[in-house]
Structure 1
Amino acid sequence: MGICKRAVLYLVRKKGKAALLFLIFFFVSAFLLICFSILSGTEQAARELRTNIGAAFYIRPYTQMTMEGGSLSVGTTPVITQQSIVEVIAATQGQVKAYNTEHYGYAKSEQLHFIPGAGDNEASNMGKVTAVRDSELTDVFLNEEYTLLAGRHIQPEDENKILISAELATENNLEVGDVLTLTHADLGQQDGKYIDTLPEKTAFAEVEIIGIFQYEGAADSADSPTAGKAANHIYSDSHLLVNLQEQQDGIFEGEIAFYIADPLELDFLLECVEAISSIDWDNHILRENDFQYEQIAGQLQNLQELAVALIVISSVLSIVILMLILMMRIRGRIHEAGIFLSVGKSKAQIIGQFTLEAWVLLFAGFLLALLMWLLCSNTANELLFGTLAQKRGTAALQTGGGGLNYLQPDLFRFILLFTAEAGAVLLTVLVASGAILRLKPKEILSRMS
């Protein structure tokens, strides 16, 4: 009778002992499958997170103020030029995925009645304009303080396109697609009254409303002028203020944002940017934003370390438990081994049978654990990694797929895991069978008597 048939007959005959060993293999395999899946999943999630959440750095010019002779002296307002932007992009060696510019001004229109603020009058009834390259990349939209209700965002190729608030649109019965004529303006004060310091209008631009947004946040202060109210805020493309003669083409006074794909490169890129000599860093601020990547990555790292610790602990405990059980079982089968030896079976055949029995139960336990993990991995993935999809970063630049199952079983990895478990079982069987390997056939038979 071959060892395969003997192994099957033994397992059928000793159902209780076989069931116990099967359950041990099932729980050990299930636990290791979960731990290795989490270990692999956190690595994949970290890579996906870095691509999705991205990072940004910002360059903001600021006006220097000095105290001379007891009086405050205000310096000239520094600017950032398009040439400086080109140099920054070149210094980052292609790491910048997109950038956004900001410039500020004012505008009014005979077709627009702005929501009145403090001291509102005909001259001061105007709105503040923020001219941007891409409105979707502004902080208020990235942070979801503003939400686009209708239409689309401003894109770099747009000219004379604007976004207005839902409140301003309702006040003036406006909707996406309407065309207005805007003119330049500038808010000032005279004798305690808000005025327009540009009373003579020489620059006009026809603009199209391409989007309407809803804003959320703190209420306007009671002393906010009309142009300072959030409802009167207008976002425009970067060409509008140039056309209204409030900005020079290619020169920006506002903050410039640069978005990169990999937060791990942020510190290195900041060093490269700070080395640009054409930017006067005495009156420019360079700040960074990793969109909470460090905090989220730290959570993933903790989960990964926990998985490694559990793998080590469970592997050691599993080997110890298996060794104890197999030693007890095999020592109880010395009599059986002696009979096999007396009929001419070799020690290799006897150990082979013991190993085959264990491998059959291991395969059954591993297969059941794998099937159960296939059914449960989606739920476990949602519990462990579901919040990653809610993390905000450069949402407009995200390229990674959403809703991924980071715990999806990897067939190749699990074959390696099964192979490792089978090897561990073989090792424990060999150690547990030490008495059979160590003693000579006569010694085993004499012990039987």
Structure 2
Amino acid sequence: MHMYKRAVLYLARKKGKAALLFLIFFLVSALLLVCFSVLNGTGQAAKELRSNIGAAFYIRPYQEMIFEGGAVSEGTTPIISQKSIDEVVDAAGGQVKAYNTEHYGYAKSEQLHFLPGAGDSEASNMGQVTAVRDSQLTDVFLNEEYTLLAGRHIQPEDENKILISAELAAENSLEVGDVLTLTHAGLDQQDGVYIDTIPEKTVFAEVEIVGIFQCDGAADSADSPTAGKATNHIYSDSHLLINLQEQQEGVFEGEIAFYIADPLELDTLLERVEAIDSIDWDNHILRENDFQYEQIAGQLQNLQNLAVALIALAATLGIVILMLILMVQIRGRIREAGIYLSVGKPKMEIIGQFGLEAWGLLIVGFLSAFLLWLFCSGPVNGLLFGTLAQGTGTAALQTGGGGVNYLQPNLLNSGVLLAGELAAVLLTVLVASGAILRLKPKEILTKMS
């Protein structure tokens, strides 16, 4: 009788012992599949999260204070040119996914009545304008403090487009698509009264409302002037204040934000940026923001460390338990081995039968574990990775990766794992069969009697 048939008949006859080995193989295979999936999945998740979450660095100007003759005065307003911005982008070596600029000014319109603030008058009834390159990249929208209710955001190619608040739109019966005429304005105080520093209006610009936003939660102080109220805030494209002659083209006084693809490159990029000579670093601050990636990376690293520890534990315990069981079972089959030897079967064929029995149970146990993990990996993936990227405030920069099952077992990796388990089982069978390999046929027959 061929050893393959003998192996099948033995497993059919010894159902209890076969079930015990199957259970061990199933549990060890399931644990190893889970651990290797977590190990590989965290690596993939870390790479995709880095790309989706990204990071940012900001160049923020600050006005120098001059102490002279016991008096304090403000120095010149620091600026950054478009040339310097281009140098920063070049220094990043393709890492910059987007950047955003900010201008600040004021605007009025005969078609707009701004919600009154402290000391409101016809002269001071104006709104503050923040001119940006891309409104969805401003902090209030990135951090979801403001929500776009209708329309769209300001885009880099826009000219004379604005966003207004829902309250300001309701006050003036305005909606997306309406066109207004804005004029320049300036806010100051004179004898405790808010005034317009540009009383004579000479410059006008027709603008289109492309979006309406909600600014719930924005707290205004009791002494905020009309232009200082959040509901009167206008976001415009970067050309509007230039067209209203309140800013110079290609010169920026506000904070410049640069968004990069990989947080791991942040420190290196900051060193390159600090080496740019066209930016006066005496009155500019360079700050960074990894959007909580360090915290997320720490969670992923903890998962990887746990997976490695569990792999080592499962492999060690699995081999030890398997060896103990096989040694007990194979030593109990000395009589069977002696009978085979008496009819001329070689030792390696007998041990091969033992190996085939173990391999058959291992393959069935591994496939059962694989199918179970295939169905369970999705829910476990949601528990482990579903909330890692939440709360980062970078949805505007994300490029994909949502809904990916990082734990789905890979056929190639699973095949390699099965091959490793088969090799380990064969080695364990050889060690457990040491008594048969060590004893001569005559000695085995003697032990039988």
TM-score, length basis structure 2: 0.99
SS, match of residue 59 in structure 2: strand
**How far off is 1:74 after superposition?**
1.3
**How far off is 1:391 after superposition?**
4.1
Partner residue in 1 for 2:231 = 231
Partner residue in 2 for 1:328 = 328
Partner residue in 1 for 2:384 = 384
Instruction: Tell me, yes or no, if the aligned pair for 1:389 and 1:402 is still in contact at 8 Å.
Output: no
Partner residue in 2 for 1:180 = 180
Output one character per residue of 1:309-367: Cα deviation in whole Å (capped at 9) or x when no partner.
Answer: 00001110000000000000000000100110110001110000000000110011111
Instruction: Tell me, yes or no, if the aligned pair for 2:136 and 2:142 is still in contact at 8 Å.
Output: yes
**4+ runs of 1 displaced by more than 6 Å?**
none
Amino acid at match of 2:56: A
**How far off is 1:216 after superposition?**
3.1
Instruction: Tell me, yes or no, if the aligned pair for 2:100 and 2:138 is still in contact at 8 Å.
Output: yes
Partner residue in 1 for 2:349 = 349
Amino acid at match of 2:427: L
Distance 2:251 2:39 in 1: 49
Partner residue in 2 for 1:285 = 285
Instruction: Tell me, yes or no, if the aligned pair for 1:55 and 1:393 is still in contact at 8 Å.
Output: no
Output one character per residue of 1:138-187: Cα deviation in whole Å (capped at 9) or x when no partner.
Answer: 11111101111100000010000000001111111100000000000011
User: Aligned residues, how many?
Assistant: 449
Task: Map 1:384-423 onto structure 2 (within 5 A).
Answer: 384-423=384-423
Distance 1:70 1:26 in 2: 82
Instruction: Tell me, yes or no, if the aligned pair for 2:338 and 2:448 is still in contact at 8 Å.
Output: yes
Output one character per residue of 1:186-245: Cα deviation in whole Å (capped at 9) or x when no partner.
Answer: 111111111111100011000000000011334211111100000000000000000001
Distance 2:323 2:294 in 1: 43
Partner residue in 2 for 1:51 = 51
Amino acid at match of 1:189: Q
Partner residue in 2 for 1:271 = 271
Partner residue in 1 for 2:240 = 240
The answer to whether 1:15 aligns with 2:15 is: yes
Are residues 292 and 373 of structure 1, via their aligned partners in 2, closer, same or farther at CA, if it must alter by over 3 Å? same
Distance 1:422 1:3 in 2: 18
Instruction: Tell me, yes or no, if the aligned pair for 1:53 and 1:293 is still in contact at 8 Å.
Output: yes
Instruction: Tell me, yes or no, if the aligned pair for 1:91 and 1:273 is still in contact at 8 Å.
Output: yes
Instruction: Tell me, yes or no, if the aligned pair for 1:117 and 1:224 is still in contact at 8 Å.
Output: yes
Distance 2:213 2:22 in 1: 62
The answer to whether 1:198 aligns with 2:177 is: no
Partner residue in 2 for 1:78 = 78
Distance 2:375 2:89 in 1: 47
Amino acid at match of 2:350: I
SS, match of residue 352 in structure 2: helix
Partner residue in 2 for 1:124 = 124
Distance 1:388 1:139 in 2: 21
**How far off is 1:37 after superposition?**
0.5
SS, match of residue 317 in structure 2: helix
Distance 1:400 1:294 in 2: 20
Distance 1:185 1:233 in 2: 14
Give the RMSD, CA atoms, in angstroms.
Answer: 0.9
Output one character per residue of 1:4-48: Cα deviation in whole Å (capped at 9) or x when no partner.
Answer: 000000000000110111011111111111111100110000001
Distance 2:205 2:291 in 1: 37
Amino acid at match of 1:297: A
Q: How high is the sequence identity, in percent, across the aligned residues?
A: 80
SS, match of residue 323 in structure 2: helix
Output one character per residue of 1:292-317: Cα deviation in whole Å (capped at 9) or x when no partner.
Answer: 11110011001100000000011100
Task: Map 1:207-226 onto structure 2 (within 5 A).
Answer: 207-226=207-226
Amino acid at match of 2:36: F
Amino acid at match of 1:214: Q
Partner residue in 1 for 2:89 = 89
Distance 2:221 2:281 in 1: 34
Distance 1:92 1:15 in 2: 66
Distance 2:389 2:67 in 1: 50
Partner residue in 2 for 1:340 = 340
**How far off is 1:70 after superposition?**
2.1
Partner residue in 2 for 1:36 = 36
Q: Give structure 2 stretches of 5+ with no counterpart.
A: none
Instruction: Tell me, yes or no, if the aligned pair for 2:203 and 2:245 is still in contact at 8 Å.
Output: yes
Distance 1:196 1:222 in 2: 20
**How far off is 1:98 after superposition?**
1.2
Q: Give structure 1 stretches of 5+ with no counterpart.
A: none
Partner residue in 1 for 2:365 = 365
Instruction: Tell me, yes or no, if the aligned pair for 2:144 and 2:393 is still in contact at 8 Å.
Output: no
Range with greater deviation from structure 2 (40-49 or 395-404)? 395-404
**How far off is 1:68 after superposition?**
2.4
Amino acid at match of 1:276: I
Distance 2:54 2:380 in 1: 25
Partner residue in 2 for 1:160 = 160
Instruction: Tell me, yes or no, if the aligned pair for 1:54 and 1:259 is still in contact at 8 Å.
Output: yes
Distance 1:388 1:122 in 2: 51
Instruction: Tell me, yes or no, if the aligned pair for 2:53 and 2:389 is still in contact at 8 Å.
Output: no
**How far off is 1:89 after superposition?**
1.1
